């Protein structure tokens, strides 16, 4: 089987870079990146600057276009569909045109992934989402992930998932993300795994256990889906743990404890004596200290209910001797989540630089220095993957693909 990838919601190319670093012949046949409402498609421009554009089957370019407007049948064939997509409302309802049809919420990108899978039937899928996906929405815990798993089950896929904290596996950032690996039931890999018990797939022999070894697994719990996707959307609730497996509509899940590796420390990615515009001003210092500090603030809701809003302190400045906190798209703006560090050269407090943001995600230095404004460089990194985690997964996929006919 050829090592070919289609990359949806590509950002600045984290999936592609992760696979390219393997040097084992992976080829991206097509990608899609489009930021709704953006006047300039900065992430797409960055991706193209590094990898060039990809023509579709008709020789026209559609990589910087709303994926909903792209003909899924025109997407080139591929062996692995990859993509990092946002956590949204995955609820469905019966369509008006057919009692048997379903209709997802407009603009929810999961349905674009589903449509691509229906059209192209890739043997393998590797998808990424935020860790809270497993517990959303708050009013019906597990519903959204249940809808996704049920969709994949109905399309003939077996699924593994794992919440991976990048710092536990050697990265410089404590970034927790849900990764989903799905494979068609007619693959050679599925045939090999059919001899394994679900608990062994989760703990030792599965895709994620192979690339991200675990120390212990607690007792698994399981459930089955209702037959109707709309019924899942309306009534399904389940506690999905940080690891799991799904086959033929039966879900097995368990909390796992990782075998921790030596992390990369924040101090090791910092530059020294950076440009003056990154430093905090004396006038702003009190505001930064307040934002980072603990608070208990009396508040009143719109219906008159009185309560106390409270939040704990955030280290100020961020310590050098551990991995960084999770970086958000708001990085570098004046808010509580923005990293503030002590410059190794001057000792003064400052924001992290765009290069340091790239290092925290495992990109090459100046990866986003492709003409985009500094604020967008932070935004793109806040949206990005931790690239070394993808390279680890690629090593496992190398072995899987090599054994396919």
Q: pLDDT tens digits, residue range 102-120?
A: 667 777 899 999 999 999 9
Residue range 149-159: average pLDDT? Answer: 97
CB atoms inside a 10 Å sphere around CB 251: 25
Question: Measured between alpha carbons, how far is residue 288 from residues 266, 278, 329, 333 in Å?
Answer: 20, 14, 18, 11
Residue range 333-359: average pLDDT? Answer: 98
Say what the pLDDT of residue 68 is: 92
Say what the pLDDT of residue 218 is: 80
Say what the pLDDT of residue 101 is: 62
Residue range 240-254: average pLDDT? Answer: 96
Top pLDDT among 123 and 225 is at 123
Say what the pLDDT of residue 100 is: 54
Give bridge partners of residue 179 from the DSSP assignment. 128, 162
Rounded distance between C-alpha atoms, residue 354 and residue 342, angstroms = 16
87 catalytic residue (yes or no): yes
207: confidence class by pLDDT, cuts 50, 70, 90: very high
261: confidence class by pLDDT, cuts 50, 70, 90: very high
Asked if the model's pLDDT at residue 94 lies above 70, the reply is no
Rounded to two decimals, the pTM is: 0.94
Q: Are 362 and 388 in contact (CB under 8 A)?
A: yes
Asked if the model's pLDDT at residue 56 lies above 70, the reply is no
Asked if the model's pLDDT at residue 272 lies above 80, the reply is yes
33: confidence class by pLDDT, cuts 50, 70, 90: very high
Say what the pLDDT of residue 105 is: 75
Asked if the model's pLDDT at residue 82 lies above 80, the reply is yes
Q: Are 213 and 259 in contact (CB under 8 A)?
A: yes
Top pLDDT among 354 and 57 is at 354
Annotated catalytic residue, options 6, 46, 87, 380: 87
87: confidence class by pLDDT, cuts 50, 70, 90: confident
Residue range 361-389: average pLDDT? Answer: 97
Domain positions in the chain:
4-262+386-402, 266-353
219: confidence class by pLDDT, cuts 50, 70, 90: confident
- Torsion, CA 358, CA 362, CA 365, CA 371, rounded to 10: -50
Return the CATH number of the domain spanning residue range 4-262+386-402.
3.40.50.150
CB atoms inside a 10 Å sphere around CB 373: 10
The residue count for the chain: 405
Express as a percent the part of the chain with pLDDT over 90. Answer: 84
């Amino acid at each position: 089987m050829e090592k070919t990838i289609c990359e949806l919601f590509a950002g600045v190319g984290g999936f592609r870079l992760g696979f390219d670093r393997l040097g084992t012949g992976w080829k991206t046949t097509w990608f899609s990146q489009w930021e709704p409402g953006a006047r300039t498609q900065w992430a797409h421009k960055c991706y193209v600057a590094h990898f060039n554009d990809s023509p579709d089957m008709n020789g026209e370019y559609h990589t910087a276009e709303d994926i909903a407007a792209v003909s899924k049948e025109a997407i080139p064939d591929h062996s692995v569909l990859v993509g990092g997509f946002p956590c949204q409302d995955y609820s469905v309802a019966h369509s008006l045109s057919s009692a048997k049809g379903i209709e997802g919420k407009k603009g929810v990108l999961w349905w674009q992934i589903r449509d691509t899978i229906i059209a192209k039937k890739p043997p393998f899928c590797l998808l990424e989402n935020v860790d809270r996906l497993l517990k959303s929405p708050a009013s019906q815990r597990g519903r959204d992930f249940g809808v996704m798993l049920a969709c994949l089950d109905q399309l003939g896929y077996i699924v593994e998932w794992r919440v991976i904290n990048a710092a536990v596996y050697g990265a410089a950032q404590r970034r927790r993300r849900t990764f989903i690996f799905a494979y068609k039931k007619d693959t050679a890999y599925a045939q090999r795994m059919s001899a394994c018990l679900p608990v062994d797939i989760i703990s030792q022999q599965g895709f994620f256990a192979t690339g991200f070894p675990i120390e212990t697994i607690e007792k698994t719990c399981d459930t089955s889906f209702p037959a109707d996707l709309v019924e899942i959307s309306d009534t399904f609730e389940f506690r999905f743990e940080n690891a799991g497996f799904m086959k033929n509509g039966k879900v097995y899940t368990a909390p796992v404890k990782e075998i921790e590796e030596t992390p990369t420390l924040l101090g090791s990615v910092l530059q020294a004596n950076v440009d003056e515009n990154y430093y905090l001003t004396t006038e702003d210092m009190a505001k930064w200290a307040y934002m980072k500090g603990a608070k208990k603030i009396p508040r009143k809701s719109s219906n008159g209910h009185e309560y106390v809003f409270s939040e704990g302190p955030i280290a100020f400045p961020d310590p050098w001797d551990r991995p960084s906190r999770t970086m958000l798209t708001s990085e570098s703006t004046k808010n509580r989540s923005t990293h503030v560090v002590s410059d190794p050269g001057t000792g003064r407090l400052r924001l992290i630089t765009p290069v340091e943001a790239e290092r925290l995600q495992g990109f090459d230095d100046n990866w986003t220095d492709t003409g985009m404004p500094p604020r967008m460089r932070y935004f793109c990194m806040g949206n990005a993957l931790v690239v070394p985690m993808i390279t680890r997964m690629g090593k496992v996929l190398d072995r899987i693909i090599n054994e396919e006919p």
